Chains A and B, each alone.
Chain A
């Protein structure tokens, strides 16, 4: 067996080994195909492509309607009193940046002023998205599983829509907040590189829809179970 083919087999085996439980079957399917590919280099290309399967991390699949209802109750319970980490972190960041801008404005150069202003704006946006994500619809009053399933599905749909609408800049805003902090450092030597990298991220990152996809997969899982339950009934 040639080196490229051996490498392809080895990479495929690694992909199967490292794949999450939800993706293992797919990784195995990809690995089995390697034997049927004519051309060692083509097999290697196929195996390298199979590594993308590792990037997919499907959420824990809910098995039946009772589990969805339980997940809904847990979700409501967790969100009732504890604000999400992102809200706390960005809230603190916003406070910190505004405090610097207000009290140290005169002592900063233009680059630092711009940096902290960008960081403050990004933190404000992130805090707003965090707050909207954390906000919850009305909890069902009764103990009926159906009401909790509806509630959980509605909440997942609302979050998905948030990250395809107002929250679409969420990943890009994390980058711009960090870049703003970097620009704020006194004597920072790479401002143009940072600005170019941030601009690139602002354009490219809204194209990745992983936050929305995460919630979409949950909605799909719920709907698949409900469809199955409807067929069984």
Chain B
């Protein structure tokens, strides 16, 4: 089945950051600092990835005196998609369509 997701330089940045440590759960603010994206740009990307089943979310276990934080990690499908996308970025494809299909 083919899914369609918009490819943008910001999405590529987020995917590359997740690939830096594939199995780690990441916090939103840390992602924002690492990618240089503001919350208003980063979160719509994360939400879109989650809607496509490419990102899983979880709440951190509460520690006394500290509120639990929301955490994010790519799913297996997400990791496959991220690897494909970053490979395409490396090749430096020109004239790619705005919507890129990914086989799942």
A→B interface (CB under 8 Å): 23, 25-26, 28-30, 32-33, 35-37, 45-53, 56, 58, 164, 209, 216-217, 220-221, 223-224, 226-227
Residues of A near B40 (CB, < 8 A) are 48-52
Residue count of chain B within 8 Å CB distance of chain A = 27
Binds A, one of B11-19, B49-57, B79-87, B88-96: B49-57
CA distance A152 to B68 in the complex (A): 39
Are A29 and B53 also in contact (CB < 8 A) when A46-B39, A50-B39, A53-B47 are?
no
> Residue B29 contacts which of A28, A37, A220 (CB distance < 8 angstroms)?
A37
Contact B67–A26 (Cβ < 8 Å): no
* Residue pair B1, A49 in contact (C-beta under 8 Å): no
Measured CB to CB, the closest approach of chain A to B52, in angstroms, equals 6
Contacts A29-B57, A29-B69 known; A36 to B1 CB distance under 8 Å? no
- Point out the residues of chain A lying under 8 angstroms from B38, CB to CB: 45-46, 49
Given A23-B47, A52-B40, A52-B44, A36-B29 contact (CB < 8 Å): yes
Chain B residues lying within 8 Å of A45, measured Cβ to Cβ, are: 38-39
Q: Mark B9-27, 1 if CB is under 8 A from A, else 0.
A: 0000000000000000001
Contact flag A220-B70 (CB < 8 Å), given A30-B28, A30-B39, A33-B28: no
Kindly provide the distance from the CB of B27 to the nearest chain A CB, expressed in whole angstroms. Answer: 7
B53 — which chain A residues lie within 8 A by C-beta?
A: 220, 224, 227
Q: Are A56 and B47 in contact (CB under 8 A)?
A: yes
**Contact partners of B27 in chain A: CB under 8 A:** 33, 36
**Residue B7 at the chain A interface, CB threshold 8 Å:** no
Kindly state the separation between the CA atoms of A95 and B46 in the bound complex, as whole angstroms: 45
The winner among A26, A45, A209 for most chain B CB atoms within 10 A is: A26
Let me know if A220 and B69 touch, CB within 8 A. Answer: no
Q: Report which of B1, B28, B32, B104 forms a contact with A29, defined as CB distance below 8 A.
A: B28
CB closest chain-A residue, reference B51: A220
Q: Which residues of A contact B104 (CB under 8 A)?
A: 227
Closest residue on chain B to residue A164 by CB atoms: B99
With A25-B57, A33-B69, A58-B51 known as contacts, the answer to whether A220 contacts B3 (CB < 8 A) is yes
The smallest beta-carbon distance between A112 and chain B, in angstroms, is 39
A162 to chain B, nearest CB (A): 14
Residues of chain A within 8 A of B44, CB atoms compared? 52-53, 56
Q: CA–CA, A221 to B51, complex, Å?
A: 7
16 A-B residue pairs with Cβ-Cβ distance under 8 Å, sorted by A, are: A26-B70, A30-B39, A32-B68, A33-B39, A45-B39, A46-B38, A47-B39, A49-B39, A50-B43, A53-B44, A164-B99, A209-B6, A216-B4, A217-B51, A220-B52, A223-B1
Q: Is the CB of A32 within 8 A of B51?
A: no
Q: Please report the C-alpha to C-alpha distance between residue A36 and residue B67 in the assembled complex, in whole angstroms.
A: 10
Contacts of A49 in B (CB 8 A): 38-41, 43
Q: Could you tell me the distance in whole angstroms from the C-beta of A226 to the nearest C-beta in chain B?
A: 8
